[in-house]
Amino acid sequence: MQFPGQKPDEKVTMLVRKHWSVLVRQVIMFIIAAGVPLAIYLVITKVMNITLDHSSLGFVLAVLGVSAFELYVLLFFFIFWIDYYLDLWVITDSRIVAIEQEGLFSRRVSELPLSHVQDVKTDVSGFVATMLRYGNVTIETAGEQSKFVFEHIPRPDLIAQKIIELQPNLSPIQQQSVAPAKQNTPTPKSGTPVI
């Protein structure tokens, strides 16, 4: 696994993106928007049994209008997809990197050395979040940026556990006894598949 800005001797432990449910609403809106012209066409031709004159100006203008509409719907959905896909959190053996894409030309990268991690909290709230197992992980730091937040990510309990395990300041015995400070999700059982 590699990510932009990775150091030569750095090993990536986890690459985390937002949960797929973030995309669902946009996908549904895209399908509805893209399907409306087709639905109208089917209603006119099949239900109302109106025969369209394919050589008329009206039909041609309708085709051009629908074509432009579909192109822009597709473009907006692709831009949203890019924004979703390029947002990611990278946990390596030495640091946590948060890459946030804001639009097409704006990108914010935050970095947190693992040695600066003071506290790790997970938060899973709501019926849907509990069923789909996604939530937030908040890391309190000793650096200038007091909080580092992983938002809307899958299996936040596993992410928190991994961050704690990678803590360089803790001895192996201390690592076994440390749990996330605040955890609203049940501890995963052994053998739980990793993301």
- Select 39 or 60, whichever has its Cβ closest to other proteins: 60
Strand order of the β-sheet with 95-102 is: 12-16, 88-92, 95-102, 106-113
- Choice from 20, 42, 85, 93 touching other proteins (CB under 8 A): 85
108 binds other proteins, rule: CB under 8 A: no
Q: 83 or 123: whose CB is closer to other proteins?
A: 83
Sole window of 19-27, 103-111, 137-145, 171-179 interacting with other proteins (rule: CB under 8 A): 103-111
Comparing CB distances to other proteins, the nearer of 30 and 163 is: 30
Who's near 39: CB < 8 A, 6+ residues apart? none
* Four-CA torsion 112, 116, 119, 121, nearest 10 degrees: 10
- Give phi and psi for 100, each to the nearest 5: -120, 120
Q: Give the nearest distance from C-beta 56 to other proteins in angstroms.
A: 9
Nearer to other proteins, 27 or 142 (CB): 27
Q: Which DSSP string corresponds to 37-100?
A: HHHHHHIIIIIS-PPP-TTSHHHHHHHHHHHHHHHHHHHHHHHHHHHHHH-EEEEESSEEEEEE
Q: Contact letters (x/-) for other proteins, 4-33, by CB under 8 A?
A: x-----------------------------
Number of shown-chain residues binding other proteins (CB under 8 A):
28
Strand order across the beta sheet in which 134-141 lies: 147-154, 134-141, 117-123, 182-183
Site for other proteins in 45-84 (CB under 8 A): 54-55, 57, 59-61, 63-64, 67-68, 70-72, 74-75, 78-79, 81-82
Residue 53: CB minimum distance to other proteins, A: 11
Alpha-carbon span 122 to 160, nearest angstrom? 7
Q: What is d(CA 123, CA 28) in angstroms, rounded to the nearest whole number?
A: 27
Binding site for other proteins (CB under 8 A): 2-4, 54-55, 57, 59-61, 63-64, 67-68, 70-72, 74-75, 78-79, 81-82, 85-86, 101, 104-105, 107
